[in-house]
Structure formats: C-alpha cells, structure tokens
Amino acid sequence: MIKRLLSYVKEYKKESILTPLSMIVEVAMEMVVPILMASLVNDGINGNDGTGDMGHIIKIGVFMVLAALVGLGGGIMGGVFGAKASTGFARNLRKGMFDKIQTFSFKNIDKFSTAGLVTRLTTDVNNVQNSYQMILRMGMRIPMTFSIAMIMSFAIKPKLALIYLVAVIILGGILALIISKAMKAFEQAFPKYDELNASVQENVNAIRVVKAYVREEHEKKKFKTASNNIYKIFSAAEKLTTFNGPAMSLTVYACTMLISWFGAKMIVNTGATDLNLGDLTALLQYCMRILISLMLLSMIFIMITMSAASARRICEVLDEEPDITNPENPVMEVKDGSIVFKNVNFRYNKEGKENVLSNININIDSGETIGIIGGTGSAKSTLVNLISRLYDVNDGTVLVGGTDVRDYDLEVLRDEVSVVLQKNVLFSGTIMDNLRWGVRKNRGKEDVPETPREKEEIEAECRRACKLACADEFIEKMPDKYETYIEQGGTNVSGGQKQRLCIARALVKKPKILILDDSTSAVDTATDAKIRKAFAEEIPGTTKLIIAQRISSVMNADRIIVMEDGKINGFGTHEELLKNNEIYRDVYESQTGGNGDFDEGGER
C-alpha cells in the first residue's frame, strides 16, 4: 500500500528529499545550543576563577545566534519544501483517483457509493496529505533529536542520563497503549463520513421533493444522526489521546526534578568536580528535547493511524481494475449501425445464478428504427447498455457493424453509439456548452484550439441538432438563446426541455446508432411525433432504438421488441404484434382506451 501511494509523489521527489535534509540542519543547530550554553556557563560566567570571561561570553553568544539563525533557516525551508511536497502529493493522488474513476465501467462504479468516492477524494486525501507532511518534517527530526540528545546526555553524565532512559521506556509504553486503543476508534470513523456525505448529497439533490413533502425535520434528524455518529467515535478517540499531555507533563516534571536533585547533590558534594553547573544546564535542555520528541512521535503515530484507514480507502479505488478495457489490437472503425445479439445472457453479479437478460437473439439492420417496450424491471435499459459496452455480456456475443463490441476501441464504439439515458443530465454552463459535449474530438489534437471556421461549423451543427430534437422552439424564445446559462443538473429548465436538449446533444455526434432510453417521457405527444418524424426524414441512415412506455412512440417503428422479465416476448411490426402478442395487444387496447400505464395494461 505504501509503495502504491508513494508512486504518486512523482515530480515532487526533490522537495520530499529536501524537506528532511532541511530538518537535519535545524536539529543539528538545536543540538549544538546546549553544548554552547554549557561552555558559556562553565568557561564564560564561571571562568577566570569565578570572575567571568566577557570575551568568551560574547564569542559563544555570537555562535548561539548564528546557530539559531541557521536552524531557523532550516526550519523555514523544511516547512516550505514540506508544504509543496505534501500538497503536490495530494494533487497527484486526487488526479490519479479521478482518472481511474473515469476508466470504471458501470459495474466498477456500482461497488462505490457517490458519497464514498467524494469522501475519498476530499477527507481521505487530506488526511494522507497531512500525514505525509508530518512524516517528511518530523520523520527525520524526531529520531535525530532523540538519538543525539540521548548520546550527548550519556557523554556528559551516564548516571544522570539513565533517568532519561527509564523515563523514555515508561512514557513509550504509555503512548503505545494510548495509540493502540485510539487506532481502533479512528478506523471506525471514516466510513461514517460516507454516511454523512450521502445524507447531504441526497438532501441537496432531492431538495424539491423534501420541500414538497415538508420533510425538512426528517432530513435534519437524519443528518444529525450521521453527524453524531462521527462525533461519538472521534470523541472516544480524542479522549484517549488527551492522556498524552498529562503523561508527557508528568514525565517531564519528574525528570526535571530528579536531574535537578541528583545533579545539585553532585555539584555540592564534589565541589563541581564530578559535575558542573553548565553540564547540568545542558542535561536539563536535552531532557526537554528527548521527552518532547517522544510527545511529537506520539502525535505522528496518531496522525498515521488516522491516515492509515484513509490510505486503505484510497488504494481501494486506485487498485480497482476496470472490468471493461480495450483489446490489444482494437478495431478503429464501425462500418455501419447493424446490431446483432447472439445467445446473450447477462447478470450484474458474475457469481449470481439468475440472469437479468436470458437467451437474447436479435438481428437489427443498419438504419432501422426499433421500438422497445416492456414493464418496469423488464431489463429494457440493460439490453441497450450492452450495445455501447457499458456492461459486458456473461454469455453470447453482441455485434455492432458485424464486429464483436469487445473488439472495438471503446472511444470509437461509444462515439458511434450515442445514448440518451433515462436519467437526463445537464451540466452547469450555457446551452451551447452542453450541446458541445456531443462534438467529437480529433484524436491527438484535443489541445489544438478551434479555428473561427471550425467553431462556426460546430455551432451550426448544434443548432441543426436542436431543430431535429424540437429544442429550438424554446431556445429561440429565451433572451440569451444558445448562451442561456443552465444551472447544475438543469434545474432551471423543465423536464421536457431537458430531455430535448439531451437528445440534441446526442445528435451532434452524428452517430451510426442512436439510443433513446425513455427519453421522451416528459415530452407531449405532439412534440414526440415531431421528433420521430424529424428522425425518419433527416437521419434515415442512423439505427434508432427507442425505449418507451407509450405505444404511440414506437408503433410507427420498423419493428418493435416486447420485453418481459429479461426475455424477448415478441419481436415484429406493430400489426404483427397486435395479432400475435397478447401483452402488446393488451397494452395497446388499454392505452387507446384511455389508460396510458404500460405496467397495468400489460398485466394478465
């Protein structure tokens, strides 16, 4: 896991090396100061038979100032390099995770909740970033401080330095116990962030429904519960870590008292021959540095404990292998819009026993218009998702243009199979910005700016697509027309307008296959008829698959597929199905009789 994460340091390796080196300079200067202080007391203040040596005091004072300035410089540079290295590391981690998510198939994405991915990209990365910065700055400083201070203490007076050693063992045991207890609590906390983010995301996305049903209080309680869960876990962990302070203070005060007592006795009893005042001063300073380094070490361990859970969650995303990838030598051209399903079975869970789609055999010619109807849960959307390889079949083969979809380059295939999903999504930006999502990029020339002529041609094609989708009717009435700003999710346009914009966006691609997944459900029947007529007249060479609940939307199609429980119950023209398919006939009669609900009409 550590090796996996460190591979994202990349271009910040130099700063990651310079940070601990800068800290070494700072520590070295700090360790020199007690020695200089001892010399100042012994040879300066008490020199010349107790009369003092002002020249020596000034010289040592200059050295101490220089040491302090060099140490300060090392500390500042360590902070600068550490901040740059950690923030760059975090940036690379976020980019790596986001790039990996873009390669996921629907099946991969189904493993992670949206809230979970957001938490990983924000809170978890922040924890790892803070931990990395602490390790760079303190990972070298603390062991060096501890080791040098301990060595210098034993060099000055081994008997008194034993007090440090005993104190270190006791304090280390206490800190180890605290960390082991706190680690379990911190590991439980971060999954709770997913629940909190999920609560916020669901509330914001569905705010209109919340207000329509006056469920604000219910949402407040749900958020409060999720927030309290995090509060309780972190409170328990923080209560454990608060023992760090008292344990540290008790140890420091005890060591200071013991060293002062025994040191003073040595000075008084031996007439400062066994130990002098300067050495005692240096020992006390090293005492503080040893014990403070242990305190900082405990803080680092706690932070690492917190970030370890975050690091595992980040690696879950980075290590997730897309189950849909390009073949070694992909086919780079889709010849036509013909579609063939051969003995196709599909289930979302490979280990599952029940198929979502069973024994699907269909032959669709290029340029045909195919209607698909069926009750809720009959796997209509699942069927068309296999065409653009959003999922892979478990058994059988799906052919597009006479070639297995698994043999195509994914980008090439999906450029030629344009899908208007059941859940229409618009992005924040102008109408034209949203339409330009359908513009194909010249591969290898994504960074080359458009010429004025290319821009004009693209905008003309966008307007043409809007005309086909009957979206120009309402766009032209807007004050800013195609420069009208669309709020995130398209909240400032109606459902029917959103659907027509999404259809236009799909048409901009000029695909060989166009799939409309119940994407005219919010459009009135007159507009629906106009859209179908425009499709028939303007894009006759494009294969069109129209999923719908209204038979009026598909009855003029070349052929119609009737789905039931993941199987094809009927396949033929409108007239053939009226004669031979009981489900289709029942639905047709119920809808023409005034009941427009497919599911009710299809019940037998």
In this prediction, residue 352 carries a pLDDT of: 67
pTM metric for this prediction: 0.68
Range of weakest confidence among 41-55, 285-299, 345-359, 413-427? 41-55
Question: What single-letter amino acid sits at 406?
Answer: R
Rounded mean pLDDT, 141-160: 81
3-class SS at 105? coil
Cα–Cα dist 257/406, whole Å: 76
Task: Please determine, for residue 63, whether its predicted confidence score (pLDDT) is greater than 80.
Answer: yes
Residue 599 banded pLDDT, cuts 50, 70, 90:
low
Q: Which two tokens stand for residue 94?
A: 């976020």
**CA–CA gap between residue 62 and residue 563 (Å, rounded):** 90
Strands across the sheet with 567-572, in order? 417-420, 513-517, 543-547, 369-374, 559-564, 567-572
Residue 185 has a CB neighbour count (10 Å cut-off) of 20
Query: What does the pLDDT read at residue 38?
Result: 74
More confident of the two residues 252 and 474:
474
Burial 62-73 (b: 16+ CB within 10 A, else e): ebbeebeeebee
How would you list the strands of the sheet with 357-364, edge to edge? 357-364, 339-346, 395-400, 403-404
Domains and CATH numbers, the chain: 2-319 (1.20.1560.10), 339-440+451-601 (3.40.50.300)
- Integer Cα distance of 452 and 546 in angstroms: 36
pLDDT digits (tens, 9 = 90+) for 403-438: 998 998 888 888 888 888 767 778 888 888 888 887
H/E stretch holding 545 reads strand 543-547
Which one has a higher pLDDT value, 83 or 109? 83
pLDDT tens, residue by residue, 376-398: 788 888 888 889 888 888 889 99
Q: What's the confidence (pLDDT) of residue 518? A: 75
Average pLDDT over residues 454-475: 85
* 469-508 residue pLDDT tens: 888 888 888 888 888 888 877 777 887 888 888 888 888 8
Q: How confident is the model over 102-141, as pLDDT tens digits?
A: 888 777 777 777 777 888 888 888 888 888 888 888 877 8
Instruction: Output the average pLDDT for the chain.
Output: 81
Please say if the pLDDT value at position 448 is more than 90.
no
The model's pLDDT over 173-203, given as tens digits with 9 standing for 90+, comes to 877 777 777 767 766 766 676 677 777 777 7
284 or 298: which leads in pLDDT: 284
Q: What is the pLDDT of residue 510?
A: 82
Dist CA 424 CA 505 (whole Å): 11
pLDDT tens digit sequence for 343-374:
999 888 776 678 888 899 999 998 888 989 88
Higher-confidence residue of 215 and 400: namely 400
pLDDT at position 361: 92
Q: What is residue 472's predicted lDDT score, i.e. its pLDDT?
A: 86
pLDDT in tens, 318-331: 888 887 888 888 88
Task: Indicate if the pLDDT at residue 601 is higher than 50.
Answer: no
pLDDT at 602 (0 to 100): 43
Average pLDDT over residues 532-541: 77
- Residues with Cβ < 8 Å from 317, sequence gap 6 or more? 97, 100, 101, 112, 117, 120
Mean pLDDT of 269-289: 76
Comparing 16-20, 25-29, 225-229, 289-293, the range with the smallest average pLDDT is 289-293
Query: What is the pLDDT confidence band of residue 243, given thresholds at 50, 70 and 90?
Result: confident
Mean pLDDT of 78-100: 90
**pLDDT score of 604:** 36
Task: For residues 557-576, give the mean pLDDT.
Answer: 89
Residue environment code for 340-349, b if the CB has 16+ CB neighbours within 10 A, otherwise e: bbeebebbee
